[in-house]
Amino acid sequence: TAPTGEVEEDETQAKALNYVRKASDAKDNPKYKEGNTCNNCMFFEPTKNNGCTLFAGRRVEQGGWCAAWNPKPA
């Protein structure tokens, strides 16, 4: 069965996307840029319990990050 609840770092999809609950833990990832967090990612849904579209709407840390980060449209 698919995992539910808050996304954990050791889940298959989270590992595939290098998700970390604390963005600074991604500092060695070449895709990571300081200041990029779930909070300013286009896939973050703050009005839906801090869910992430890419994780089926499950909750992520607003200060987290993953390799699918893309900026919110201005």
Q: What's the chain look like in SS3?
A: CCCCCCCCCCCHHHHHCCCECCHHHHCCCCCCCCCCCHHHECCEEHHHCCEEHHHCCEECCCCCECCCCCECCC
| 26 is a site residue for ligand SF4 (CB under 6 A) | no
Q: How far is the CB of 47 from ligand SF4 (least distance, A)?
A: 13
44 contributes a contact to ligand SF4 by CB under 6 A: yes
Nearer to ligand SF4, 25 or 68 (CB): 68
For ligand SF4, the binding residues (CB under 6 A) are: 19, 38, 41, 43-44, 52, 54, 60, 64-66, 68-69
